[in-house]
């Protein structure tokens, strides 16, 4: 039995909720009036605000991202004037990157000052807008320090842009670009800063390259820093911005990889090195695909294994790469999508949150048309399915070695992938298929096991004395 007092309170709360809901989404003479809540096809709130005689008025909140629609914390806010046009300060925050864009509207278009802030609230860029586009001077920052300033014309960079900043305490970046028709030409330089306890700071050139009409060209020394350390790639780009000729990579000034390139893909001998500088792996590439003889080495320099790789077709086990339709648009376009929001699912949009990113107006238009086409679908839409039945497979004689140089395993491989039995661990392991007689030796050169395979399947197993062992 429900207590009478509880029942009365519950009915009272329900009547309040019903009354509140009844005040929303009203029309008068066929036009929206008062407080409104707009929902998508999944009944999630995408916008909240008020109407006056069919026109939006006052402050509105918008919920673009899936997180925003779940938490009901708006990722866009702003106000409308009496004529239903956006006015004053508006902001939009990208849920993935945490970057926020603050703009100012005048009679429905973005005009005047705008700024980008990172997820910590630090300004990373500010400048001028005109008719929804960047137009005029912009300044960019890193950790509160100015790194570059330059000018836009209808959202395209123009004239000279000179960078000078420290992305890390020990790295100094300098660039000098000139923009024409949206394409940059000029030079980029990376310096490593050596802070000596007695002799002070010195900078050493560690990376340099040139752009021509937006493409890398000529000799490059490409510098980057990651968890491995300071990575430097050296090589040349042709007139089309494609890697050609010999390219070499070092990490912390030690050899890491090297290979010949043509038309931006590997062609020729590929080498990889251990941190101590000794050769780790050597193979051949043809049109970007590994093929031919290969050798792997221990860090001591001793040969670890050798064999041959060919390209085969395996229709039963294809490599499937599914490409999905996704719309990439600058964050500023979010303000123009407020009227279509209830027909757009967040899964289809990737906001370009890099404040320096430019995109041609016709490309933006094409992306927004695609969004209109696919936006209401709940799930990601498949753009293309790439099926590749070609596989690099080991074939022919294969030999592996103990680190002291004694043979470890020896036998013949056929172009297939199977599960093979490892008696030392009593497990099945996916590996390249074996065929015929295989032998395993200990590091003193004495036979341990003899295996008999048939098309990748182990059919017989013998110990070092020739005694037959059970095959699992």
Query: For 78-135, how does the pLDDT look when each residue is reduced to its tens digit (9 = 90+)?
Result: 999 999 999 999 999 999 999 999 999 999 999 999 999 999 999 999 999 999 999 9
pLDDT at residue 14, rounded to an integer = 34
Q: Is the pLDDT of residue 429 over 80?
A: no
Q: Is the pLDDT of residue 49 over 90?
A: yes
E strand residue ranges, 29-154: 31-39, 45-52, 55-62, 76-80, 86-93, 100-106, 109-110, 112-117, 123-130, 133-142, 145-153
- The predicted model gives 222-242 an average pLDDT of 91
Per-residue pLDDT reduced to its tens digit, 289-327 = 899 999 999 999 999 999 999 988 777 767 788 889 989
Other C-beta atoms within 10 Å of 150: how many?
19
Q: Is the pLDDT of residue 423 over 90?
A: no
3-state helix, strand, coil in the chain (%, to 5): 10, 60, 30
pLDDT at residue 15, rounded to an integer = 38
Share of the chain above pLDDT 90, in %: 75
Bridge-partner residues for 462, per DSSP?
450, 468
The predicted model scores a pTM of 0.77
Q: pLDDT: is 41 or 422 the higher one?
A: 41
Q: 440-443: long-range contacts (C-beta < 8 A, 24 or more apart)?
A: 440/408, 440/409, 441/402, 441/406, 441/407, 441/408, 441/409, 441/410, 442/402, 442/406, 443/402, 443/403, 443/404, 443/406, 443/408
* Measured distance CA(142)–CA(165) in Å, rounded: 8
Q: pLDDT: is 16 or 183 the higher one?
A: 183
Per-residue pLDDT reduced to its tens digit, 445-455 = 999 999 999 99
- The predicted model gives 156-166 an average pLDDT of 94
3-class SS of residue 333: helix
pLDDT at residue 22, rounded to an integer = 40
pLDDT at residue 424, rounded to an integer = 62
């Amino acid at each position: 039995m429900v207590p009478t007092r509880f029942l009365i309170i519950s009915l009272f709360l329900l009547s309040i909720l019903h009354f509140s809901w009844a005040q929303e989404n009203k029309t008068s003479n066929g036009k929206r009036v008062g407080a409104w809540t707009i929902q998508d096809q999944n009944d999630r709130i995408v916008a909240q605000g008020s109407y006056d005689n069919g026109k939006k008025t006052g402050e509105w909140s918008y919920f673009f991202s899936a997180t925003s629609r779940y938490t009901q914390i708006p990722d866009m806010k702003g106000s409308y004037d009496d004529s239903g046009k956006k006015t004053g300060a508006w902001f939009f925050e990208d849920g993935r990157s945490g970057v926020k864009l603050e703009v100012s509207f005048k009679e429905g278009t973005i005009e005047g000052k705008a700024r980008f802030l990172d997820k910590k609230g630090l300004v990373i860029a500010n400048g001028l807008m005109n008719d929804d586009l960047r137009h005029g001077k912009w300044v960019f920052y890193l950790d509160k320090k100015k790194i570059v300033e330059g000018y836009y014309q209808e959202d395209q960079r123009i004239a000279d842009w000179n960078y000078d900043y420290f992305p890390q305490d020990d790295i100094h970046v300098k660039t000098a670009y000139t923009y024409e028709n949206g394409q940059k030409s000029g030079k980029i330089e990376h310096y490593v800063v050596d802070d000596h306890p007695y002799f002070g700071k010195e900078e050493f050139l560690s990376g340099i390259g040139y752009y021509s009409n937006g493409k890398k060209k000529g000799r490059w020394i490409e510098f980057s820093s990651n968890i491995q350390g300071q990575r430097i790639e050296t090589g040349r780009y042709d007139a089309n911005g494609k890697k050609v000729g010999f390219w070499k990579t070092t990490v912390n000034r030690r050899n890491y990889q090297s290979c010949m390139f043509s038309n931006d893909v590997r062609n020729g001998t590929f080498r990889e090195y251990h941190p101590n500088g000794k050769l780790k792996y050597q193979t051949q590439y043809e049109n970007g695909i590994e093929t031919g003889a290969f050798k792997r080495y221990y860090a001591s320099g001793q040969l670890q294994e050798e064999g041959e790789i060919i390209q085969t077709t395996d229709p039963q086990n294809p490599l499937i790469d599914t490409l999905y339709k996704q719309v990439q648009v600058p964050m500023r376009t979010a303000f123009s999508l407020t009227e279509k929001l209830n027909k757009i699912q967040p899964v289809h949009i990737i906001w370009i949150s890099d404040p320096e990113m430019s995109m041609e107006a016709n490309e933006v238009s094409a992306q927004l048309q695609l969004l209109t086409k696919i936006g209401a679908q709940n799930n990601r839409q498949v753009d293309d399915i790439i099926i590749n039945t070609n596989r690099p497979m080991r074939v022919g004689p294969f030999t592996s070695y103990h680190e002291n140089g004694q043979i470890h395993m020896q036998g013949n491989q056929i172009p297939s992938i199977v599960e093979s039995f490892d008696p030392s661990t009593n497990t099945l392991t996916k590996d390249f298929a074996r065929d015929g007689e295989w032998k395993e030796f200990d590091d003193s050169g004495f036979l341990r096991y003899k295996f008999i395979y048939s098309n990748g399947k182990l059919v017989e197993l013998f110990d070092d004395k020739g005694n037959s062992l059970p095959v699992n």
